[in-house]
């Protein structure tokens, strides 16, 4: 598990040292660097992971399946500084330091004569840790929307077990692994019809929309799969009249990849989530936080970017209930300062309360109420 991430001359940060735990929430203002943190980990996986695309060996692959960061000049911090602790060189260096036990340093060299290249030469010391070979999911904020069909790729969904950065392979994954059981523990929903993945998915989806059920099936003669929803019945052929996702709304389909990613988490998993609250009502956002906390309680590492106070409060409640220990839930609040970003990290106490409440940290409700009462 990653215990600390250090970014040097990377995008919004001249230098950032960020503690990490089983559940790490990244919150704060827009364009303050939250996404850069998530992207840095995806970048390492993209460049050195088991599914790495073909590229010069040892290079930092800026554009690929997981992230598209542009060119070397796009990732080098505008006001870059020295990085002597990473690499003794006069050239500008973009550094990524991941601590999993021992620190692994990745130093990417910026070639001023080829600033528009999208592969950067790197020096790695020592070898990258095994975390790059562990189960992995990364779901962008821009996820699948309601559609009539979704892709049916055996190689991605079944062989690799990857849901896709937009969750586009979730339906096919769910279709194939319908009967796979969710292990007994925090993730298993007590109200589900069975421990099987489809029934567990339905139970958690009903936390977001009571009475909903779903069905995933192959479309014969094509390389597509279909998804349908029912209301008031149970999953499968005995459910009520089926409805296409296009006739149901964004919230359920947008949330489905998050639910499946959490339910399939293992103690070795690294799961990166952007805005899991998108298109969900407040109660649904809070329940989504409970599911994410349950995944972290199984031993998976969850790194979540969110703008939702309901997600924040859901995590605080998980700590208060004892589902997570206070030190297992880390919160980082990002603030832009014009030339870069700064981070404040409020501590969560055993009662779910925060040790500090920085200005601008989910305080808009109180600010608006003060104006209404003025």
Closest by alpha carbon to 361, among 12, 32, 37, 41? 32
User: Reading across the β-sheet that carries 224-231, which strands appear in turn?
Assistant: 150-151, 224-231, 212-218
Distant-in-sequence, close-in-space partners of 281: CB < 8 Å, separation ≥ 6: 251
pLDDT of res. 100: 87
Q: How far apart are CA 95 and CA 43, in angstroms?
A: 12
Q: Using one digit for the tens of pLDDT, what is the confidence trace for 162-214?
A: 999 999 999 999 999 999 999 999 999 999 999 999 999 999 999 999 989 99
What is the pLDDT, as a whole number, of residue 257? Answer: 97
CB 271 within 8 A of CB 301: yes
Q: Is 18 helix (H, G, I), strand (E, B) or coil?
A: strand
E-state strands within the chain: 4-10, 13-19, 23-28, 59-61, 93-100, 102-109, 119-125, 136-139, 150-151, 212-218, 224-231, 270-274, 301-305, 329-336, 341-344
Question: What pLDDT score does 311 carry?
Answer: 96
pLDDT score at 57: 54
pLDDT at 223: 94
The confidence score (pLDDT) of residue 252 equals: 93
Nearest Cα to 92, choosing from 62, 128, 124, 121?
121
- CATH T-level assignment (fold) for domain 1-135+265-374: Rossmann fold (3.40.50)
The confidence score (pLDDT) of residue 129 equals: 66
Spans in the chain with pLDDT lower than 70: 53-58, 129-131, 233-240, 337-340
Closest CA to 263 of 198, 328, 329: 198
Residue boundaries of the structural domains of the chain? 1-135+265-374, 139-264
* pLDDT value for 56: 47
Does residue 114 contact residue 76 with C-beta atoms inside 8 Å?
Answer: no
- Helices H, strands E: what count in the chain? 8, 15
pLDDT of residue 185: 95
Query: What whole-number distance in Å separates Cα of residue 209 and Cα of residue 202?
Result: 10
CA separation for the pair 275, 304 (Å, rounded): 7
Residue 126, judged by CB atoms within 10 A of its CB (0-12, 13-18, 19+), counts as exposed
pLDDT at 85: 86
């Amino acid at each position: 598990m990653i215990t600390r991430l250090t970014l040097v001359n990377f995008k919004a940060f001249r230098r950032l040292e960020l503690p990490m735990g089983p559940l790490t929430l990244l919150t704060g203002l827009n364009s303050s660097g939250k996404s850069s943190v998530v992207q840095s980990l995806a970048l390492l996986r993209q460049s050195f992971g088991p599914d790495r695309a073909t590229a010069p060996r040892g290079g930092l692959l800026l554009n690929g399946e997981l992230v598209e960061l542009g060119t070397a000049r796009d990732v080098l911090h505008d006001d870059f500084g020295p990085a002597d602790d990473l690499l003794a060189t006069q050239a500008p260096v973009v550094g990524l330091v991941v601590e999993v036990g021992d620190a692994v340093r990745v130093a990417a060299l910026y070639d001023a004569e080829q600033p528009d290249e999208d592969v950067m030469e790197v020096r790695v010391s020592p070898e990258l840790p095994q975390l790059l070979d562990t189960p992995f999911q990364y779901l962008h904020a821009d996820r699948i929307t309601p559609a009539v069909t979704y892709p049916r790729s055996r190689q991605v969904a079944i062989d690799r077990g990857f849901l896709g950065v937009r969750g586009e392979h979730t339906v096919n994954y769910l279709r194939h692994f319908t009967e796979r059981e969710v292990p007994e523990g925090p993730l298993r929903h007590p109200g589900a019809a069975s421990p099987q993945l489809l029934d567990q998915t339905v139970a958690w989806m009903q936390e977001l929309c009571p009475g909903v059920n779903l069905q995933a099936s192959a479309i014969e003669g094509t390389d597509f799969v279909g998804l349908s929803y029912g209301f008031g019945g149970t999953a499968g052929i005995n459910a009520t009249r089926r409805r296409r996702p296009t006739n149901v709304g964004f919230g359920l389909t947008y949330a489905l990849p998050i639910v499946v990613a959490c339910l399939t988490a293992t103690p070795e998993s690294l799961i990166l989530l952007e805005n899991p609250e998108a298109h969900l009502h407040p109660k649904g956002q809070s329940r989504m936080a409970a599911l994410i906390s349950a995944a972290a309680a199984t031993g998976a590492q969850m790194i979540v970017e969110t703008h939702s106070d309901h997600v924040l409060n859901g995590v605080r409640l998980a700590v208060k209930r004892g589902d997570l220990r206070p030190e297992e839930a880390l919160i980082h609040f990002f603030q832009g300062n014009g030339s870069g970003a700064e981070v404040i990290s409020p501590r969560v106490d055993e009662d779910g309360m925060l040790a500090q409440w920085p200005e601008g940290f989910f305080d808009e409700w109180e600010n608006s109420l003060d104006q209404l009462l003025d």
